[in-house]
């Protein structure tokens, strides 16, 4: 397990409506994808917690959840530090979710370096992803406050993912960001693949202060509304958040923040590591990630788990 001033924020409050036809329990009830138990395996949230544990202790890991999902997340987070479970009274997108957790981190460690990760990813070669996240942290620390986005090396011209186009050249592992392309048409996806564009993973690393500055510059009203609040589970805190959330518009971290200021970001290419976004239907029903390198022994899950997952939805690799 790492530490060294690294904090992790796991975003686990989504509803996962696009994949609810697949993410069903044995009794037939649909559940958000982060709580869906993979056949003979863990839930994506449990995978994310395990992934985070290689970077930071539970005391430095924030998990953002939604109040109405408590019966689903409470068992997985029963042993997690209570003050590190950030409960949203309602879903208002990924930007408010990140800000709620970021407030908590900054109160306790103003000099923190933060890794932000979703809770709906599957990775065959966890070792490759782990080293990429550490490299992103190093890049964020050794430059003047960049936010570093992990860009996954594509295996095909996917039309369901967002793409990020790196700038030519660069002075290290990370590159400047030329532009983002969201869910391109087939011909455009093929062109992006050919020119060396990357899949946007939504895994970020940066100083906590730099992340706050980015949110303040792009969504100042959101920061003004939530800066003095947090998501502690004490009832009076949740009640105060409920009042704010009633009139809070939804904001997406990717569309409303990252894509509006590409010049302030850097992208770090990740070699093929069997990465799949379980937040899309295609991520559950037809992607074939490829494990290529293993700088350290592969962490959980085993490489056979994706085959089991695909079999559960009627496909084979």
pLDDT tens digits, 106-145: 999 999 999 999 998 889 999 999 999 999 999 998 766 7
Among candidate residues 280, 12, 20, 15, the one with its CA nearest the CA of residue 161: 280
Would you state the pLDDT for residue 17?
60
- Cβ atoms of 276 and 290 within 8 Å: the answer is no
Would you state the pLDDT for residue 117?
97
Query: Which structure tokens are listed for 30?
Result: 């649909």
Distance of CA 43 to the CA centre of its chain: 15
Mean pLDDT, residues 192-201 taken together:
96
> Any idea what DSSP says for residue 62?
E
Residue 295's pLDDT band (cuts 50, 70, 90): very low
- The upper half-sphere exposure of residue 73, i.e. CA atoms within 13 Å in the direction of its Cβ, equals 27
Sign for the CA dihedral angle at 218, 220, 226, 230 comes to positive
pTM: 0.84
Query: Which structure tokens are listed for 84?
Result: 């590190």
What percent of the chain is modeled with pLDDT above 90?
A: 59
Average pLDDT of the residues of the chain: 82
Q: Which residue has the tokens 């070669």?
A: 125
Among candidate residues 131, 173, 137, the one with its CA nearest the CA of residue 296: 131
Among candidate residues 227, 243, 220, 256, the one with its CA nearest the CA of residue 89: 243
Residue 20's pLDDT band (cuts 50, 70, 90): low
Would you state the pLDDT for residue 290?
28
Residue 23's pLDDT band (cuts 50, 70, 90): low
The CA distance from 156 to 271, in Å, is 14
The CA distance from 124 to 302, in Å, is 7
Query: Which structure tokens are listed for 287?
Result: 């992607």
DSSP H/E element including 211: helix 208-218
- Cβ atoms of 102 and 212 within 8 Å: the answer is yes
Residue 148's pLDDT band (cuts 50, 70, 90): very high
Classify each residue of 284-294 as buried b or exposed e, where b means 16 or more C-beta atoms within 10 Å of its C-beta: beebebebeeb
Angstrom distances, CA of residue 108 to CA of 76, 102, 207, 306: 24, 10, 14, 38
Neighbours of 186 (CB within 10 A): 10
For residues 99 and 315, the model is more confident at 99
Judged against a pLDDT cut of 50, whether residue 307 lies above it is answered with no
The CA distance from 289 to 151, in Å, is 15
The CA distance from 148 to 132, in Å, is 11
The CA distance from 85 to 166, in Å, is 35
For residues 118 and 289, the model is more confident at 118
User: In a 3-state reduction of DSSP, which class is residue 87?
Assistant: strand
Q: Who contacts 317 (Cβ-Cβ below 8 Å, separation ≥6)?
A: 288, 306, 307, 310
> Any idea what DSSP says for residue 151?
E
């Amino acid at each position: 397990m790492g530490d060294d001033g690294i904090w992790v924020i796991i975003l686990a409050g989504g509803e996962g409506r696009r994949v609810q036809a697949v993410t069903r329990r044995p009794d037939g009830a649909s559940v958000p994808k982060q709580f869906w138990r993979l056949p003979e395996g863990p839930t994506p949230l449990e995978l994310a917690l395990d992934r985070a544990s290689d970077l930071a202790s539970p005391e430095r890991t924030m998990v953002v959840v939604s109040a109405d999902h408590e019966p689903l997340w409470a068992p997985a987070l029963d042993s997690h530090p209570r003050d590190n479970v950030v409960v949203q009274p309602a879903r208002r997108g990924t930007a408010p979710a990140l800000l709620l957790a970021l407030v908590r981190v900054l109160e306790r460690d103003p000099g923190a370096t933060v890794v932000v990760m979703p809770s709906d990813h599957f990775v065959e070669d966890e070792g490759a992803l782990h080293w990429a996240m550490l490299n992103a942290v190093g890049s964020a620390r050794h430059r003047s406050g960049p936010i570093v986005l992990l860009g996954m090396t594509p295996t095909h011209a996917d039309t369901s993912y967002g793409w990020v186009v790196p700038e030519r050249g660069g002075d290290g592992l990370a590159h400047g960001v030329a532009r983002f392309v969201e869910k391109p048409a087939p011909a455009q996806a093929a062109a992006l693949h050919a020119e060396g564009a990357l899949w946007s993973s939504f895994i970020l690393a940066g100083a906590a202060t730099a992340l706050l500055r980015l949110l303040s510059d792009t969504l100042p009203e959101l920061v003004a509304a939530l800066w003095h609040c947090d998501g502690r589970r004490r009832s009076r805190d949740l009640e105060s958040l409920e009042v704010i959330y009633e009139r809070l518009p939804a904001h997406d971290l990717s569309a409303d923040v990252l894509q509006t200021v590409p010049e302030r970001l850097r992208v770090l290419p990740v070699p093929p590591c069997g990465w799949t976004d379980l937040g899309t239907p295609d991520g559950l029903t037809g992607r074939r990630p490829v494990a290529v390198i293993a700088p350290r022994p592969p962490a959980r899950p085993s490489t056979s788990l994706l085959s089991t997952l695909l079999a559960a939805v009627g496909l084979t690799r």
